[in-house]
Structures are given as structure tokens and as C-alpha cells.
């Protein structure tokens, strides 16, 4: 039976002390993820989440940065879990262009991040929707 399994979207991840120069845009913290796939009868979408943190942060500043990045993680998890049902339904009907699904997913993650950043007065990232139509209704 054809089905979709999404892994790497449960539980909190530890922070990873990372030299500040290795964190994009010179920020103090950064939530990121990678995806990979394994196709047979089961399409496995595997997310590897990371929360990078400047190791020089201490006290309230560190707590604030971790709380900010945890919000990004929470938003990501909501989007990743919401992807399960429509992707599974599409896969049962036939082949899916997973690359296109992931382009739209990445767009949604950045859009959600930008909305949060606007609300708290933080910098936003450029984000353009993919040129191909969205394969599902969010």
C-alpha cells in the first residue's frame, strides 16, 4: 500500500552551540531543517531539525534567543504535520512531484517566520512563491 511517513517532527530538539560566524545573517540563533526522501511503496520524508545557538550568550539574552527560535520550531512543526494528510492523499493517487511540494513547504516556512518577525520587529527574509502552482490547498 502506498503511503507517506513524515519523521523528525516530534519532540523538542536540543540547542547546538555554534560559533556566531556560522549562524546565517550574524544572528544569535537560527532554527533550520533539512529534508530527504526515501521512495518505495512508502514515501518517507525525513526532517533533521537543528537549533543553532551562539555559545557566548548567557542569562536572559540566551533565554530570549532560545524562546524566539523555539517559536520558529513550533511553527515549522505545525506546517510539517499539516503536510501529512494532503501529501499522503496525493501519493495514494499516483506519483507526486516531491520537489515541488518541498519548494512550497519551504516558502510556507519562511512566510510563517516572516509573519512572526514582523510581529516582534525582527528582520525578515526575502521569500518568493514557486512559479509552479501549489499542489495542495493549505
Summarised one tens digit per residue, pLDDT across range 109-122 is 999 999 999 999 99
C-alpha angle with apex 70: 68 to 76, nearest 5 degrees? 115
Q: Rounded to two decimals, what is the model's pTM?
A: 0.80
- Radius of gyration for the chain, computed over Cα atoms and rounded to the nearest angstrom: 16
Length of the chain: 138
Domain spans in the chain, listed from the N-terminal domain onward: 3-120
Give the pLDDT score at 51.
Answer: 84
The whole-number pLDDT of residue 74 equals: 92
Q: pLDDT tens digits, the chain, 138 residues: what are they?
A: 567 777 777 666 667 766 666 666 656 666 777 766 656 667 788 888 888 888 888 999 999 998 998 999 999 999 999 998 999 899 888 878 888 999 999 999 999 999 999 999 999 999 999 999 999 988
How buried is residue 117: exposed, middle or buried, by Cβ count under 10 Å (0-12/13-18/19+)? middle
Amino acid at each position: 500500500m502506498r503511503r507517506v511517513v513524515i519523521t523528525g517532527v516530534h519532540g523538542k530538539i536540543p540547542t547546538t552551540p555554534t560559533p556566531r560566524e556560522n549562524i546565517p545573517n550574524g544572528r544569535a540563533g537560527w532554527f533550520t531543517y533539512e529534508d530527504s526522501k526515501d521512495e518505495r511503496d512508502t514515501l518517507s520524508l525525513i526532517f533533521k531539525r537543528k537549533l543553532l545557538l551562539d555559545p557566548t550568550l548567557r542569562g536572559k539574552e540566551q533565554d530570549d534567543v532560545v524562546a524566539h527560535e523555539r517559536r520558529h520550531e513550533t511553527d515549522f512543526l505545525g506546517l510539517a504535520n499539516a503536510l501529512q494528510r494532503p501529501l499522503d492523499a496525493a501519493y495514494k493517487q499516483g506519483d507526486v512531484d516531491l520537489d515541488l511540494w518541498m519548494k512550497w513547504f519551504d516558502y510556507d516556512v519562511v512566510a510563517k517566520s516572516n509573519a512572526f518577525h514582523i510581529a516582534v520587529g525582527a528582520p525578515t527574509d526575502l521569500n518568493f512563491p514557486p512559479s509552479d502552482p501549489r499542489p495542495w490547498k493549505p
